[in-house]
Structure formats: structure tokens, C-alpha cells
Amino acid sequence: SDDEDEPSVSVLLEGTSTLPPSLSLSDTTISETIAQGSSVSSSFLLANNGGVDLNFLIEIGGLENLSEDDFENGFGNYTDISDAGNGTSWETGEMSAIPPLTGLYVFANDDGAGSSAPATNIMLASQVLNASGQMALVFDSYFPQPSGTCGTGSYSEEAKILVSIDGGDYSEIMVPPSSSWTETTIDLSSLSITGNTIQVAFNYYDCGGNWGYYWGFDNARIQGVGGAEWLTLSPMEGSLPSGDVQNIDAVLNTEGQDPGDYLVNVHVRDIAYMIDETIT
């Protein structure tokens, strides 16, 4: 306006706006009563109501332990794949600098190897497992890391989780420092979704020969989606352009199943946009 006391300015914005990512399901529950030895078909719809194209992945069931080790009897399902000549090595047991935990644990004691020991870069690798879209590594960790990561001090060190998909090169994920035993969860989903098999490795590195400290870990569980034999969905993955819908066919089959109530959560995800919708 032309009012000198309260002038106003009009601004015209031109262009296009983009709606945020959005995925919705036509149903939140599918419930059927089925005679033993028979099957029934159903379906539900996925709708992309957002402004970006999505890539959906459907998973049947929640996370369950695919591999678990308490290291009471050695390395269990894990194998030391370290090269020869390291200044220290993986051990199972207890050490005085690490507070007690229930039973034994795995540790690397670079401090105990002394200042003149060769460099240490050691790896303890899991079995190769089938990959699912949602996966996690959960373990108890004690890693004070008082001198920080490589390049930050004369006694710096790093603890890492290495992840190999389909036998390829390892990707690195830093383990956060912890001055007490801490349950640590490493989300593997962004990697596991890209292949058919997965292998993880615990890696202690003293930054090329620093006189480092130590790392202890225990109770390692690799978790993935277990599924349900009596439920088949199709398609299980695909692209869903903005504004489109996708029909998902569901077949519930009781053949070979004992009488009773069966319940499973079905997750529809887009990993890139961290979308997770559930139907039961």
C-alpha cells in the first residue's frame, strides 16, 4: 500500500513446488479365516502421493537374529582373517583395563603390545549370510578412544565395522566411542538392499602403528527379516512414480501349517527416503 506508516510490498513467486515423499497403503490390516490345507487371495494398494518417484521394497516379518555369538567358546561363527605380522591380535577372555561384562568377550589390546610393536589392522569376519532389505548388527561395545580417530593424536585408533556385499570390497562404518559397555546398533539396510549376500567384519586399526589403546565387544547379533512361509506377496519391489498406484497381490496358504492364529507385520519401505509403512 501507499500508507507511509504501514507500507506493504507484494512479491510474486514463479516456479514449481515439490511435495515431500509420501507413500500410503489402502489397508492397514488383512484378516482372513482359512480352512487348513487351503488358500485365499487378497490384495492392497500402494499409492505415491508425494512429489518424487519412489522405489518400494516389501518385507514380510520383523527383524530376527540370523546369527548370534556370545564368544564364551572362542570366536564362534566368526573367523580371524587378519594378515600376518600385526602388532596385536584378537583374543577372547578378559583384560584388566576393560570393565567386567557377563562372561568372556572379544578384545584387541594394542596398549599391551607396547610402543615398539608393528602396526595393527586386524579383522574378525562373520559368515556370509543371505541379505535382506532391512538388516542390523547389534553388539555390546567398550571403546573409550581417548586420543580420537586417525590423524588427531599420537595414540589415536579406530574401531570399524566392515561390510561386504556379494563378496565385493568392504564398506567402512565407524564404531562410536564409549567409555562404558554400550549396546551399539549399526544399521546395514542401505548396503544389504543392494545385493544377495552380506558379510560383516569387526576391524581394529591403530592408524598405521600408533601405540593405541583397546577395544572390547561381545554379544554380536546380525539381524534380518525372517519372513512367513504362509504368506506370498507380489510384486515385492518396484518403482512407483509420483501420483501412481501399485496393486499388491497377497496369497495366504495354510498347507502344512498347524491350526492357530498367525500374525505378521509387512513393511513397505523406500530406503532412500526412510519411508516405512506397515500392514498386518
* CATH number of the structural domain spanning residue 233: 2.60.40.10
Task: For residue 24, give Cα distances in angstroms to 44, 48, 203, 217, 266.
Answer: 11, 7, 40, 40, 13
pLDDT number for residue 162: 99
How far from 169 is each of 134, 193, 197, 212, CA to CA, in Å?
20, 16, 13, 26
pLDDT value of residue 184: 98
Instruction: Give the integer Cα–Cα distance in Å for 130 and 24.
Output: 29
State the CATH number of the domain containing residue 176. Answer: 2.60.120.200
- pLDDT of amino acid 225: 81
In a domain, 35, yes or no: yes
Query: Does residue 249 share a domain with residue 158?
Result: no
Enumerate residues 6+ apart whose C-beta is below 8 A from 263. 280
Per the domain annotation, does 13 fall within a domain? no
pLDDT of amino acid 278: 83
Does residue 75 share a domain with residue 200? yes
pLDDT confidence of residue 16: 56
> Phi and psi dihedrals of 117, rounded to 5?
-70, 155
Cis peptide before 21 (omega within 30 of 0): no
DSSP structural state of residue 112: H
Is 221 part of any domain? yes
Supply the pTM of this predicted model: 0.71
Contact assessment for residue 57 and residue 237, using Cβ atoms and an 8 Å cutoff: yes
Q: In what order do the strands lie in the sheet with 245-253?
A: 23-25, 39-48, 245-253, 231-234
Which residue, among 133, 123, 13, 15, has the nearest Cα to 63 in the 3D structure? 133
Range of the domain at 260: 23-61+227-279
Q: Are residues 51 and 69 in the same domain?
A: no
- Give the residue among 203, 215, 234 at the shortest CA–CA distance from 58: 234
Rounded Cα gap, residues 71 and 92, in angstroms: 7
Same domain, 204 and 274: no
CB-based contact 55:89 (threshold 8 Å): no
Question: Do strands 214-225 and 105-109 pair parallel, antiparallel, or not at all (unpaired)?
Answer: antiparallel
Whole-number Å distance between alpha carbons of 211 and 156: 8
What is the predicted pLDDT for the residue at 153?
A: 87
Residue whose C-alpha is closest to residue 252's, from 4, 25, 29? 29
In a domain, 143, yes or no: yes
* Domain assignment present for 8: no
Nearest to 123 by CA among 90, 95, 156: 90
What parts of the chain have a pLDDT lower than 70?
A: 1-17, 271
Pairing of strands 23-25, 237-240: unpaired
Q: Give the number of domains in the chain.
A: 2
Kindly state whether residues 73 and 199 are assigned to the same domain: yes
